[in-house]
């Protein structure tokens, strides 16, 4: 997953210059910004056309990073 780490680092580096496009979606591939898109779907489509099955990054441009945590109790006893 080194490719995604590189793309995420590039996205974070470019984020201050992308503030004018807040709410849109950035496509980063091979450590380069490939475009800014109105919708996630448009960015994803462009990413698959460009990268095929190689890893690429699509992130919403936002001044605040939203982090979601999902947990599940894998130690829970089965009650069935």
Q: What would the DSSP string read from start to end of 52-80? A: TTS--EEEE--SS---------TTPPP--
Q: Which pLDDT tens digit goes with each residue over 18-50? A: 999 999 999 999 999 999 999 999 999 999 999
Q: Which pLDDT tens digit goes with each residue over 4-19? A: 999 999 999 999 999 9
**This prediction's pTM:** 0.80
């Amino acid at each position: 997953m080194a490719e995604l780490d590189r793309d995420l680092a590039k996205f974070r580096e470019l984020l201050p210059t992308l503030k004018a496009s807040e709410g849109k979606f950035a496509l980063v591939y091979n450590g380069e910004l490939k475009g800014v898109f109105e919708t996630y779907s448009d960015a994803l489509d462009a990413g698959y056309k460009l990268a095929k099955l190689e890893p690429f990054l699509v992130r919403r441009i936002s001044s605040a990073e939203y982090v979601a945590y999902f947990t599940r109790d894998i130690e829970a006893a089965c009650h069935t």
